A = this chain, B = another copy of it.
Amino acid sequence: MRAVVIREPGGPEVLTVAERPSPELFPGAIRVAVRYAGVNRADLLQRAGLYPAPEGVVPDIPGLEYAGAVAACGPGATRFAVGDRVYGIVAGGAYAEEIVVHEREAAPIPRSLGDLDAAAVPEAFVTAYDALVVRGRLAPGEKLLVHAVGSGVGTAAAQIGRALGCFVVGTSRTADKLERARTLGLDAPVLAEDGHFAERVRAATGGAGVDVVLELVGGSYLAESVAAAASRARIVVVGLTGGARSDLDLRTVLQKRLEIIGTVLRGRPIEEKIELARLLWRNLGPWLERGTVRPVVDRVFGLAEAAAAHAFVAANESFGKVVLRLGD
A255 contacts the other chain (CB 8 A): yes
What CA separation (Å) do A262 and B244 show in the bound complex? 20
The winner among A218, A247, A248, A255 for most chain B CB atoms within 10 A is: A248
A250 contacts the other chain (CB 8 A): yes
- Return the CB mask of A226-265 against B: 1 if under 8 Å, else 0: 0000000000011010001111111111111111111110
| A240 contacts B254, C-beta separation under 8 Å | yes
Given contacts A259-B259, A260-B259, contact A248 B248 (CB under 8 A): yes
Among candidates B218, B240, B254, B262, residue contacting A238 with C-beta atoms closer than 8 Å = B254
The residue of chain B having its C-beta at the shortest distance from the C-beta of A222 within the complex is B250
The residue of chain B having its C-beta at the shortest distance from the C-beta of A246 within the complex is B248
What CA separation (Å) do A255 and B258 show in the bound complex? 20
The winner among A222, A244, A249 for most chain B CB atoms within 10 A is: A244
Among candidates B244, B247, B254, B260, residue contacting A264 with C-beta atoms closer than 8 Å = B254
A to B CB contacts below 8 Å, 12 in the list: A218-B250, A222-B250, A238-B254, A240-B251, A240-B254, A244-B249, A244-B251, A245-B247, A245-B248, A247-B248, A253-B262, A257-B264
When distances are taken between beta carbons in the complex, the residues of chain B under 8 Å from A240 are: 250-251, 254
> In the complex, which range does the number of interface residues on chain A fall in?
20 to 34
What CA separation (Å) do A256 and B237 show in the bound complex? 12
The residue of chain B having its C-beta at the shortest distance from the C-beta of A255 within the complex is B264
- Return the CB mask of A42-53 against B: 1 if under 8 Å, else 0: 000000000000
Known pairs A260-B260, A260-B261 / 6 extra A-B pairs, C-beta < 8 Å = A222-B250, A237-B250, A246-B250, A247-B247, A255-B264, A259-B261
- Return the CB mask of A118-144 against B: 1 if under 8 Å, else 0: 000000000000000000000000000
Q: How far is the CB of A265 from chain B (nearest CB, A)?
A: 10
What CA separation (Å) do A245 and B251 show in the bound complex? 8
Given contacts A259-B260, A260-B260, contact A245 B249 (CB under 8 A): yes
The residue of chain B having its C-beta at the shortest distance from the C-beta of A265 within the complex is B257
When distances are taken between beta carbons in the complex, the residues of chain B under 8 Å from A248 are: 222, 245-248
When distances are taken between beta carbons in the complex, the residues of chain B under 8 Å from A251 are: 240, 244
What CA separation (Å) do A240 and B238 show in the bound complex? 27
- Return the CB mask of A199-230 against B: 1 if under 8 Å, else 0: 00000000000000000001100100000000
When distances are taken between beta carbons in the complex, the residues of chain B under 8 Å from A252 are: 262
> Closest 6 CB pairs between A and B?
A253-B262, A244-B251, A254-B262, A260-B260, A259-B261, A244-B250
| Residues of chain A in range 168-226 having any CB-CB distance to chain B below 8 Å | 218-219, 222
What CA separation (Å) do A174 and B263 show in the bound complex? 36
The residue of chain B having its C-beta at the shortest distance from the C-beta of A240 within the complex is B250
Among candidates B245, B255, B257, residue contacting A250 with C-beta atoms closer than 8 Å = B245
